[in-house]
Amino acid sequence: MKYKLINEDIKEKNLLDIIYENRGITREQVDELLNANDEYKNPFEIFNMDKAKNLFKHIYNKDLIIGLLIDTDVDGFTSSTLLYQLLIKKIQHPKENIKIFKHSRCKAHGLSEDVFYDMLKSDVNLWLIADSSTNDKEQQKKLSNKGMNVIILDHHECEDYEEIDNVIIVNNQLGDLSNKHLSGVGVVYKFIEALGYSVEEYKDLVAIGQVADAMSCIDLQNRAFINEGLQNINNELIKEFFKDYKNPIIENISWGCANYMNSVIRYGTMDEKDLLWKAMNNEDGTVTYKNKKGEIIEQTLQEGLVRISNNVKSRQNNSIKKSVKTIERYIYKHELEKDKCIIIENVDMVEPGLGGITAQKLSSLFKRPVIILSPFKDEMSGSLRSQVDLKDVIFESGLVTFANGHSRACGVGLPKDNIPKLKEYLNEYLKDMEVGEVLEEVDYVFNGNEIELDNVKEVANLNSLWCRDCQKPMFVVKTIDIESHKITYKKEGISYVASFTYNGITYKKRFCSREVYETMICKKDLKFGKSHLITLTLLCEFEKTDKDFYYVSIKDFNSVKSSKIIF
């Protein structure tokens, strides 16, 4: 474990001021974020919103057959749920005149062929498509030529805007006035506002979709959605996910409900995805399952989905672990660890839908960018995960057909023959990049005898502030001398935890394996008696529970046996 201070100039500065300065924010901005609410912006600032409203009002009638296409991520599900709630609750459109279309391929996006031809031969009069399809111009034209009207409510970058008859693209990335940080569910929310309907009760869905899609949480309108959505949870499924949280925060979305929903969307069966849709739309009904005692247990749809999402997540994790081990052996066998960017040609090593997360695990393991490619149509496509910005670099190489997504996490496609050329290109581009153990950036370094519980409290009390754009502070606590037998190892909830108390502060290493615990206590060096003195250096965060219990969460550590022997 290696670390460095984000800013060396910290003498005589308050701990919170150090943290805020490291994130480029002021105390005033922190207050604005924590108290953001009702940050109203005119929906008609979004490109083509007026045209979408006028088209909908002009053609709408109760006999209209309306089609919804659900995109394959949490933002796609929440935005389509908002549209469905608009139709059945606000407008009271007949359910039999609403057609729901889902992708059959786990990572399909927009008007892809796995669903498009079913859409084209349907009897739908009006398509409401959220969170996708801005750039699917050829498919848009085919729908238009068949006499169908299309309203696209999207937030993805538009490559080349074109006016098409009967097609309205509402997209906050076009035009100069709109909030560029809204995700698909945010654009849908503003569309419903533009139609003149109240949507206050759906801000919880907006909060989930915005955070799940990694949108800015320091934009005040987005933060208002999140603050108000988490303080006023109305959706029965979100209530079920958060039932054990008194005051849910952003990380409870990103690491909690959104993570588990996304597992169902990307890795679940079609029946499990259908259950997610029904549960998210507050449908009544029950599911049953047999517990370990053989008893038949009946649950609401929402209770059942949360249970099933845990099962799907477990299946997904097991598959990822297997893939990582298989590819790790493949990398060493073919000496790919010598490349600055590891490119894997996947043949039955990674299941569909798991390329991105597997690439992330391998990138962390080998401390360098990883691309996993699989055959798709006439080329190879897959996912990049990187510690440095590479999306634009790869696209500008001229060797790929696309590179779409975030700068360090994106989808990539290219002809198979171009893979060696891309490898050579990236090795040259990254030739000066150091690979190896990552140097962790920390806000402050404490000595174990100096850190006080008040330090932990003042940081942990800001847990609702931290997000992707204003990340949770990281600290080092060094020179903790402790007898190894005082570090306990026991199960808490669903995982094992190594913990100890030092100078009145509780330290916990959660999700701790037996192997990691034995490394922490230097078990291999234990030769005399039942305990020995060890010295710990900890990489950690400051946390509090819903019951206001404060503790230090250990993320990594160095552990060294002291020369003293304790009998």
Mean pLDDT of 257-263: 95
Distance CA 536, CA 187 (A): 49
How far out from the chain centre does Cα 279 lie?
A: 20
Are the beta carbons of 43 and 193 closer than 8 angstroms?
yes
Does 236 or 41 have the greater pLDDT score?
Answer: 236
Collect all residues with Cβ–Cβ distance below 8 Å to 364 and sequence separation of at least 6.
none
Mean pLDDT of 358-368: 93
pLDDT in tens, 215-227: 999 999 999 999 9
pLDDT in tens, 279-326: 999 999 999 999 989 999 999 999 999 999 999 999 999 999 999 999
Name the CA radius of gyration of the chain, rounded: 26
Q: Structure tokens of 488?
A: 């306990």
CA proximity to 137, closest of 116, 157, 156, 161: 161
**pLDDT at res. 435:** 73
Mean pLDDT of 455-475: 95
Distance CA 68, CA 215 (A): 23
- Averaged pLDDT of the chain: 93
Coil, strand or helix at 141: helix
Max Cα–Cα distance, the chain, nearest Å = 86
Strands 2-5 and 98-102: unpaired
**pLDDT at res. 230:** 96
Instruction: Kindly tell me the sign of the dihedral angle through the C-alpha atoms of 324, 325, 326, 331.
Output: positive
CA-to-CA separations, 517 to 246, 349, 508, 564, in angstroms, rounded? 31, 31, 11, 21
**pLDDT at res. 242:** 96
pLDDT of 567 strictly over 70: no
**pLDDT at res. 118:** 95
Collect all residues with Cβ–Cβ distance below 8 Å to 16 and sequence separation of at least 6.
27, 458, 459, 462
Listed in sequence order, the DSSP H helices in 146-232 are 184-194, 203-212, 220-231
Query: Any idea which residue has 């599911």 for tokens?
Result: 287
Collect all residues with Cβ–Cβ distance below 8 Å to 227 and sequence separation of at least 6.
34, 35, 36, 37
**Band (27; pLDDT cuts 50, 70, 90):** very high
Listed in sequence order, the DSSP H helices in 213-300 are 220-231, 236-241, 250-252, 258-267, 270-280
**pLDDT at res. 432:** 86
Query: Any idea which residue has 């003042």 for tokens?
Result: 458
**Band (519; pLDDT cuts 50, 70, 90):** very high
**pLDDT at res. 135:** 92
Q: DSSP readout, 415-467? A: -GGGHHHHHHHHHHHTTT---SS-EEEESEEEETTT--HHHHHHHHTTTTT-B
Listed in sequence order, the DSSP H helices in 268-418 are 270-280, 301-333, 355-366, 391-395
**Strand extents, DSSP E, 342-442:** 342-345, 370-376, 379-385, 402-405, 409-414, 439-442
Q: CB count, 10 Å around CB of 297? A: 13
pLDDT of 232 strictly over 90: yes
pLDDT in tens, 133-169: 999 999 999 999 999 999 999 999 888 899 999 999 9
Q: Report percent pLDDT > 70 for the chain.
A: 98
Distance CA 540, CA 552 (A): 6
CA proximity to 154, closest of 42, 55, 79: 79
Query: Any idea which residue has 């039999």 for tokens?
Result: 96
Mean pLDDT of 324-350: 94
Distance CA 149, CA 165 (A): 8
Backbone angles phi, psi at 217, to 5 degrees: -105, 10
Coil, strand or helix at 102: strand
**Band (71; pLDDT cuts 50, 70, 90):** very high
**pLDDT at res. 475:** 97
**pLDDT at res. 437:** 64
CA proximity to 282, closest of 256, 303, 302, 265: 302
Backbone angles phi, psi at 330, to 5 degrees: -60, -40
Length of the chain: 567
pLDDT of 449 strictly over 70: yes
**pLDDT at res. 565:** 55
**pLDDT at res. 40:** 76
The reported pTM is 0.89
**pLDDT at res. 13:** 86
CA proximity to 512, closest of 496, 523, 499: 496
β partners of residue 476: 445, 539
Distance CA 135, CA 139 (A): 9
Strands 444-447 and 475-483: parallel
Does 148 or 177 have the greater pLDDT score?
Answer: 148
**Strand extents, DSSP E, 35-95:** 66-70
pLDDT of 18 strictly over 60: yes
The angle that helices 220-231 and 203-212 make with each other, rounded to 10 degrees, is 120
CA proximity to 507, closest of 451, 462, 429: 451
Q: Report percent pLDDT > 90 for the chain.
A: 82
**pLDDT at res. 549:** 95
pLDDT of 495 strictly over 60: yes
Distance CA 521, CA 138 (A): 62
